[in-house]
Chain A
Amino acid sequence: MTLYILKRLAIGIVTIWFIATATFIAMHLVPGNPLANEKATTEVIRANLERRYGLDKPVTEQYIIYMGNMLRGDFGIAFSEENRSVNDIIREHFPVSATLGVLALLFATLGGVLWGALTAIYRNRWPDYVIMFFVILGISVPSFVFAALSQWLILNLNQVTGSSILPVAGWGNFRYMLVPALVLGMSTMAYLTRMMRSSMLEVSNTDYIRTARAKGLSTTRIFIFHQLRNAILPVITVLGPAIAIITTGGFVVESVFAIPGLGRYFVQAVAQLDYTVIMGTTVFFGAFLVLMVILVDILYSFIDPRIRLQAEQ
C-alpha cells in the first residue's frame, strides 16, 4: 500500500515539474512581451522594468530562480497589477472557484447516483426514458449553452414573479452559487448517471444479489446495502477526472456568470500575456488536479482492495 502511494506521488511530482517547465518554455516562446505596453515608454524604463522582474537575466538562470521560488511556494509578482503577488491573486480567487467546484461536484455526484439508481430501478419504463433523455441532452449540449439558457430562464422567472430570488450573475451568498454550480455540474452529472445506471444493472445480475433475494431480504434492504453500495464503486473512480473537468469547466461558467474565480482570472491573464500569473495559476491548477486524482485513486484503493492488488502486481 505504501509502495503504491509512493509510486503515485512520485509520478505526480514529476508531472507537476513537467507542467511547470512546459509552462515556463511556452511563456518564453511567445513573441509578445508583457512589458510591450504603454508602461515601457523609453529604453531606460524598459530596462529598469526588465531588471525589476528579472527578465534581463539569461533564460536558464530565470528558470532556476523560478523553480527555486516555486519550491518555496512563491509564484512571483503579477505584471498586470502593480505590486500584487500571484500568491495573493490565487488566495483571493481560488476559494471562489473551489466553493463553486465543490458545490458542482456535490450536485453531480448526488444527482448522478440518484438518477442512475432511479433509471436502473425503472429500467425500460417511462422514468428511465425521461431521465436518459435528459442525460443525452446533458452530454450533448455544451456548458456555455446551458449557462446562457439558465440565465435567460432566471431572467424570465424573475420578471414573471417580480422578485429576484435567483440573481442572474455575480457572486455572493448561496443564492448566487446555486445555478452556476448546477450548470457546472451538469455534464458530469449526466456521465455519472449513465455510469451508475450500467453499474447498477451489472450488479443486479450478480450471484450475491440473487443469494440475498433467496435469503428473503426485503427489496429496500437489498437495494441499499447490497446493490447501491457495490454499484457506487466505479462512480468513485471517475471522481478524479470529474474534478478536473469541473475545475476547468469553471472557465466558462465563471465568465458567463461573471464570477470572480481563478478560472476567469486565468483566461484574462492569458489574454494579457501576464507571464507570472499564467505560470503561477497553471502550476497551481495543475498541481491541484494531479493531487486530486491521486487522492481519489488512493481513496478508491482503500474502499476496493482489488484495485490495490492490481496496481501492485
Chain B
Amino acid sequence: MNKAFAPALADFAPAPARQKMDTISRPSLSYWQDAWQRLKINKRALVSLYLVLGLLIFTLLGPILWNYDPALQDLDSISQAPSFSTTALFVDDPGIWEGVLLQESSTLPPVTGQSAVLGATRLNIEGTATTQYVRLSWEPVEGGAYYLVYRNDHQPESAEDLGLPLGQTLTARELSFEDRLQLQPQTYYYTIIASGGLREASDFATEAVELERAITVSQALERNLPATPGTRVELSAHPFGTDYLGRDLLARTMMGAQVSLFIGIAAPFIFVLLGVIYGGVSGYFGGKIDLLMMRFAEFVIALPFLLFMILFRIGFGIGPGESGIFPMLVALVLLSWPNVARIVRGQVLQLREEAFVQAARLLGANPAYLIFRHMIPNTMGLILVTLTFAIPMAIFTEAFLSFIGMGVAPPTPSWGSMSNEGIRSMLSTPHELLFPAFFISVTVLAFNLLGDGLRDALDSRMRSRE
C-alpha cells in the first residue's frame, strides 16, 4: 500500500474567494436605458435625432441669431438669389444719358453693300458698370446702317447664342446704348452687331462686363443710409435669398418653421394625449362602454379628413386668404385622435389579461395604481412611436392646406404657404420654392426615420423587418 493519505492542516489553503458569484456581470438596464442603447446603435435613427434637434435649434435660436424682420419688404432686392455678403456702391442718380452720337460733320463709313458688313469693333464701357445702368459705346462700322445690342449670361458660342436682344439703334450715327433692364450683380456678355439693313454682320464683338451692385443717392436717402457717391455700404446679406417682395427668406424660413413645427408638434401632442385617455378608458372598462366608444371612434375615422379640415376652417369663420393656425390645430386634433385611441385600447385590452396585472389586482391594487403603474408605462413606447409618426403627418397636412390656400395665409409665413408663393416663380427663381420645400422634406424625413428607429428600439413586437 502506498503512503497513507494523511492530510495535514498545511495542505489546505483557502481557496481564492470567488466573489459575487451570484451577481449578474452586466448592470441591469431599465426598459428606457435598454431602448436608448438600441437606438444608439441605429445610425439612421441617431442621425435623424440630431436632425430633429438641429431643426429645433434652427427654429428657436435661429431668429435670435439672425435678427431680421421676416416681414420687411425691400422692393429694390426682389427675388435675389442666395448671397452672403453684399456691398453696394453709392452712385449719383443716373439722369439722362445723351449717348455717343457721331458728329454731323464727320463722315459715316460708307455703306458698301450688304455682303460686306463688318462686325462691330471693340466695345467701350462709359463710366462704371453697375446694377443701375450699363452704358456702352462703340466705334462706327463700315457698312452699318444700324446696330443691334444683345446681352447674355455666358460667352456666346455662335451667332445664334447671343442671348437677350436688348434693342437696336435707330440710325448708324448712334453709337451707344444704355442698358437698365433688370440688372443683377453678375457678369454679362454684351454683343453689338452691325446691320447693313437687310443682313446682320456675320462676325460680332463681345465684351464681358462685370456689374457691381449700386444704389443711387436718392434711393439711399429713402432708406436712411448715409450716402456719399463713390463710397460703398454693406447691405444686409440674404443667405437664402429674398422672395418676390424682397423679404429675407432665411428669416421667413425660421418664422415659417415656428408655425409649421408648432402645428406639427402641438397638434400630435394634444391628439395623442386625447387618444390615450379615450383608448385607455375604453380598453380598461371594456364591455358596453368600450363598444359605444369604439363605434364613435370608427365613425370619426370614416370622415374624410381633408374635407373636414377645410370645413372646420370655414366653420370657424375664416375666409379665404386669412390665416387660421388655431382652427387648423383644433381640426387636426378633433379628426386625428381615433387612430391613437384604437392603438392604445388594443394595448390596454391585452395588458388587462397579462399575468402581472392580474397579480397586482389580486394583491388589491386599485384602478389608479393599475393604470399609472402598469398600463401607462407599458404603453409608453407605443405612444411615443405613434407620436413620432403623427408629427410628419401633421406637418404634411399643414403644408398641404397652406399650399392650396386653406391654411396659413400671407403675410404669416409657413413652409406650405412659402412653397405656394415660391412655385409661381419656380422657373426663374427656384430658390424661393427650394428652401421651404427642402425644410418640409428634411423634417418629415427625420421624424419618419426617428419613428422607425424608436419602433425598433422600444417595441420588439412591432419591429420592422429590415
Contacts and interface: CB of A to CB of B under 8 A. Distances in A.
A136 interface: yes
Contact of B314 (A18, A198, A248, A270): A270
Contacts of B449: 136
A145 B437 contact: yes
Given A29-B314, A155-B427, A271-B405, A251 B306 contact: yes
B311 interface: yes
A206 to B, nearest CB: 13
A256 B423 CA distance: 9
Interface residues of B, number: 47
A282 to B, nearest CB: 5
Contact of A270 (B403, B406, B430): B406
Contact of A32 (B299, B305, B319, B445): B319
Given A26-B314, A26-B315, A271-B320, A15 B302 contact: yes
Contacts of B312: 26
A285 interface: yes
A22 interface: yes
Main secondary structure of the interface of B (DSSP, over half): helix
A142 B308 contact: no
Interface string B344-361: 000000000000000000
Given A144-B419, A293-B302, A25 B448 contact: no
A19 B303 contact: yes
Contact of B464 (A18, A30, A198, A278): A198
A244 B320 contact: no
A124 B149 CA distance: 60
Contacts of A103: none
B139 interface: no
Nearest to B315: A26
B465 A201 contact: yes
A289 B400 contact: no
Find the residue from B302, B312, B321, B426 having the highest chain A CB count within 10 A. Answer: B302
Contacts of B299: 11, 14-15, 18
Contacts of A12: 302
B192 interface: no
B396 interface: yes
Interface in A52-78: none
Contacts of A92: none
A65 B271 CA distance: 36
B304 A255 contact: no
A273 B445 contact: no
Given A23-B311, A26-B312, A198-B464, A273 B320 contact: yes
Contacts of A14: 299
Contact of A19 (B304, B396, B440): B304
A36 B91 CA distance: 52
B317 A289 contact: no
Nearest to B307: A282
Interface residues of A, number: 49
A25 B315 contact: yes
A141 interface: yes
A136 B321 CA distance: 33
B335 to A, nearest CB: 11
Contact of B311 (A26, A139, A144, A148): A26
B433 interface: yes
A156 to B, nearest CB: 10
A278 B406 CA distance: 14
Interface string B182-217: 000000000000000000000000000000000000
B304 A141 contact: no
B52 interface: no
A282 B311 contact: yes
A31 B317 contact: yes
B441 interface: yes
Contacts of A26: 311-312, 314-315
A306 B415 CA distance: 44
20 contacts: A15-B299, A15-B302, A19-B304, A22-B308, A22-B315, A27-B314, A136-B445, A139-B448, A142-B437, A142-B444, A152-B427, A202-B465, A244-B304, A248-B304, A251-B306, A252-B403, A267-B404, A286-B304, A286-B307, A293-B302
Interface of A: 11-12, 14-15, 18-19, 22-23, 25-27, 29-32, 136-137, 139-145, 148, 151-152, 155, 198, 201-202, 244, 248, 251-252, 255-256, 267, 270-273, 278, 282, 285-286, 289-290, 293
Closest 4 CB pairs of A and B: A26-B315, A140-B445, A271-B320, A248-B306
Given A11-B302, A142-B419, 15 more contacts: A19-B307, A27-B314, A29-B316, A32-B319, A141-B444, A144-B423, A145-B441, A152-B426, A152-B427, A152-B430, A155-B427, A270-B314, A273-B314, A285-B304, A290-B304
